Structure 1
Amino acid sequence: MNSELLRVIVADDSGTVRALLRQWLSPELGFEIVGEAVNGRQCVELVLRLRPAIVVMDMDMPEMNGVEATREIMWRQPTPILIFTSSEIDKDRGVFYEALAAGALDIFYKPRLTNDEEVNLATSRFRRLLKLLAPIKMIRRCLPRPLTAEPAVLVPAWPARPQRLPEILAIAASTGGPAALSAVLSQLPPGFPLCTLVVQHMAAEFMPGFVEWLGQGVKVPVRAASRGELARPGEVLVAPGDCHMRLGAGGRVELDVSAPVNSCRPSADVLFDSVAEASGPAAMGVILTGMGEDGARGLLNMRRAGALTIAQAEESCVVYGMPKAAADRGAAVHVMELGEIVRFISTLASPVGDL
C-alpha cells in the first residue's frame, strides 16, 4: 500500500499550515508526507535525501526563501514543485513568477480557513493538482547561466527567414511557460516589426502580476490586451486572465468569456484559429511547453492558412504536452529547441538576408 502513496515534502515556516497539509494529505487519501521543512535550506536537504514525488513550498521562509530553494532543487535534484502561498501577494508579486521561471510548476492559494465551503473546494482541487503535477519529469537547470545564455546551434531543419515577413506572432504556453516566454520576449529588439499575441494558461488572479513581471527587462511594451485595441507592430499583448483573446477584423483584439476550450480560458486554439482566419500567411505561430493539447488544432489551422508554425522540442520543454500534440498532428512546420526559437524570432527584426 505504501508504495502507492504519493510522497510529498512540505516546506512552510507556519506550524498551522503544516498541520493543515497533514490533514489534506493523509495516507487514507493517497498521500504520504515524508518530510517537513521550516525553511528553504532544510527543504533542499530533505529533497536530496528523501527524493519525493513532489514538493509543496511556501515562498516567504527564513534562511532561504522559496525562489532560492527552487533554484537549488532544480539544479541538484529536479523535482516537481507547487507553490503554496497566501492570497495577499500584492506586496511582492514578482517573487512568485521568479519561482515559476526557476522551475516551479504552478501556484496555489492558501484558502481562508474561516470559510468552510472555500476550504472544501480548495482541498479537492489541491489534491487533484498534486496528482497531476507529480508525474512530470523535470529538467535539470544550471544555476549560473540564464536559459538563453548559450547561442543556438543551427540544425538541418533550420527555417530560412521568410521572404514575406509575418505581421502577427502568436505564442501559447502553459506549464513551464513563464520561463520560456521570458526567454523569447527578452530577446526582442526595440522596434520589433511584429505584433506579438500571447496566451499563457494561469489562474486569473495571478495574471496582472505575471504580465508586469514578464515585461521586466523586455525592450518592447508588454501589457494585458484590451478589448477593441489595434494589434500594433512592436507590442506584446497578453490575454487577460479568464478571457479568450482573438484577432478580429481590421487587426483589432477581441476578448470574451465564452465557454472554456480544452478546459482552458484563455485558450490557445481560440487565438490560433482567429489568427489563421484574420492573417493567414501573414502570421507565425509558436507553441511552447505545456500540459495537455490546447493549441494543437489551432496551430494546424494556421499552417493550413499558410502561416509559419513552430513547436518547442521535447528536450527543452518542462512538459512536452502541447508541443507534442501539435507535432503529432503535423501542425508544426518546424520543431525546435527553445534557444533556436529565440534566435529565429529575433532575426525577424533584421532588415536583410536569411540566417
Structure 2
Amino acid sequence: MSSVIKVLLVEDSPVATIVLKRILDASPEIQVVGTACNGLEALELIPKLQPDVICTDFNMAKMNGLEFTQEVMKKYPRPILIISASVQASDTQNVFELMKAGALDVFPKPIGGLASDYARLANELIAKVKVLSGVKVFTRHQRLGGIETSDRPSPKINQLSVNNYQLSRENLKPQTIKLLAVGASTGGPQALQSIISQFPANLPVPVICIQHISEGFLQGLVNWLGCESKLPVRIAGLRELPQAGIIYFPPEKRHLELDSQGRFIYSEGAGEGGHCPSVTVTFKSVANFYGRGAAGVLLTGMGRDGAEGMLAIARVGGLTIAQDRDSCVVFGMPKEAIALGAAQHVLPISAIAPLLLAKLKV
C-alpha cells in the first residue's frame, strides 16, 4: 500500500480550516500534517513537515496566495492547490496568474461557505489532492520554466542551444506546415503559455489548442493566453475557416474537427478517456485534412488522450513533437504517444517553440 499523502493546509479562516481538515482527514489516503493561517507561517513549516501537497487560500494577510505560491516554487517546489472564493470561473486574472506562478489547480470555495456546501464537494476536493500528489514540480524563477522570451527572430544557425538542449541541423531543416495542433491536460496552461508566448505576430499558420480544463474556465484561459500572446486567441467559430496567425480553442463540451472544406465543425460524445473536447479527435481530423502539412504537439497531461491522434499525424507524414519527461508536470499523454512510436521529436518545453519556428522559417 502506498504511503499517506501529507497535506499542509494554509487558511486564515478558523472555520474553513476545521471544515477542510475534516474533509481531507476523512480520506484514509490523506493526512493533514499541519495548518498555517498565512503564507509566512506556512513557509516556515514546509521544511519541517515536508508535505506532498499544499492547499492554500488566496486572500490572506501578510502574504497572499499568489505571493506564497511564488515563494514556494522558488524555495520548496511542491504541488499547490488553491482553495479560495477568489478562484471562481469569473476570476480569470487570479486563476491564471496563480497557474503561471506554479499552482497546478484551483478549487473554488462554495459561495454559501456552509459546512454542508463543502460536504457536497468533498469527493471532488479529495480527488484533486490525490491527483496532485502524484505530479512533479520544478523550482521556478522569475521567468516561467526559465524561458527567456524575445521579440527578436530565431537565430538562423546550424545549432540552436535552448537550455542546454541542442537542436541539430536536421531538426532545423524547414518543413511545410499548414496547421499546428497542440494538446495538453494537467500542467497544460503553463506549458501552453510558455510556447505561445514565443510565437511572433507573423506566424504563418493557424494553431488549434485542446486543453482539458474544468467547466467554466475555458473563456478565462482564452482571455489569459490572449494577454500573454502576440497572436489573437479565441474560441473557434462553427464553419469558420482557420486563418494563419490565430490560435483557436474548441468550445466547452465539443470536439473540434474539420469538414471536407477545412472549416471548423463541432461534434459531441466521449473521446479518449471520456474527454470532450478530445485531443485525439482533433488530431485525427487535422491529419485527415492536412496530411503532410499537419503538425501535432502533445504536452504534459494525465492519461493517453492524444496518443492515437499523434500517431495518425505521423502516419500521414506530418510533424510530431512530444514534451519530454523531465519538463512535464505529468508525463502521461506524451509517454503514451512515444510508446506508440508516434513522436518524431521528444523535446523539453523550452525547445518546442524554437524547433517549430525553425521549421516554419520564422
Q: Same fold (TM over 0.5)?
A: yes
| CA-to-aligned-CA distance 1:166-185 (integer Å, 9 cap, x gap) | 11100011111111111111
Deviation, 1:146, is 5.6
Contact 1:147 1:183 in 2 (8 A): no
Deviation, 1:344, is 1.3
- 1:276 is the counterpart of 2:271: no
Match of 1:209 in 2: 220
Structure 2 length normalisation: TM-score? 0.89
The 5 A counterparts of 1:321-332 are 321-332=332-343
Which segment drifts farther, 192-201 or 232-241? 232-241
Match of 1:192 in 2: 203
Which segment drifts farther, 23-32 or 221-230? 23-32
Of residues 239, 254, 273, the one that matches 1:243 is 254
| CA-to-aligned-CA distance 1:206-234 (integer Å, 9 cap, x gap) | 11111100111311111122222111111
Contact 2:284 2:310 in 1 (8 A): yes
- 1:148 is the counterpart of 2:147: yes
Deviation, 1:204, is 1.8
In the alignment, structure 2 segments of 5+ residues that lack a partner are: 150-160
Match of 2:58 in 1: 59
Match of 1:159 in 2: 171
- Residues 226, 60 of structure 1: CA spacing in aligned structure 2 closer, same or farther, 3 A cutoff? farther
| CA-to-aligned-CA distance 1:77-115 (integer Å, 9 cap, x gap) | 111111212277466421211221222221222234579
Q: Structure 2: how far apart are the matches of 1:289 and 1:271?
A: 17
The 5 A counterparts of 1:101-180 are 101-113=100-112, 119-143=118-142, 147-149=146-148, 152=162, 153-156=165-168, 159-163=171-175, 165-180=176-191
Which segment drifts farther, 38-47 or 282-291? 38-47
Which segment drifts farther, 103-112 or 208-217? 103-112
Match of 1:223 in 2: 234
Deviation, 1:346, is 2.4
Contact 1:101 1:176 in 2 (8 A): no
Deviation, 1:31, is 2.3
Match of 1:258 in 2: 269
- Amino acid of the structure 2 residue aligned with 1:49: K
Match of 2:9 in 1: 10
- Alignment root-mean-square deviation, CA: 2.4
Q: Percent identity of the aligned residues?
A: 36
- 1:49 is the counterpart of 2:54: no
Of residues 295, 316, 322, the one that matches 2:306 is 295
Give the paired residue count.
349
Match of 1:310 in 2: 321
- 1:95 is the counterpart of 2:94: yes
Q: Structure 1: how far apart are the matches of 2:291 and 2:204?
A: 17
Q: Structure 2: how far apart are the matches of 1:263 and 1:118?
A: 27
Deviation, 1:118, is 6.3
Q: Structure 2: how far apart are the matches of 1:56 and 1:123?
A: 14
- Amino acid of the structure 1 residue aligned with 2:189: P
- Residues 61, 248 of structure 1: CA spacing in aligned structure 2 closer, same or farther, 3 A cutoff? farther
| CA-to-aligned-CA distance 1:120-169 (integer Å, 9 cap, x gap) | 44211211221122022222223467632286132448523334x21110
- Amino acid of the structure 1 residue aligned with 2:140: R
Which segment drifts farther, 35-44 or 314-323? 35-44
Contact 2:181 2:296 in 1 (8 A): yes
Task: Give 3-state SS (helix, strand or coil) of 2:6's partner.
Answer: strand
- Amino acid of the structure 2 residue aligned with 1:23: R
In the alignment, structure 1 segments of 5+ residues that lack a partner are: none
Contact 2:69 2:103 in 1 (8 A): yes
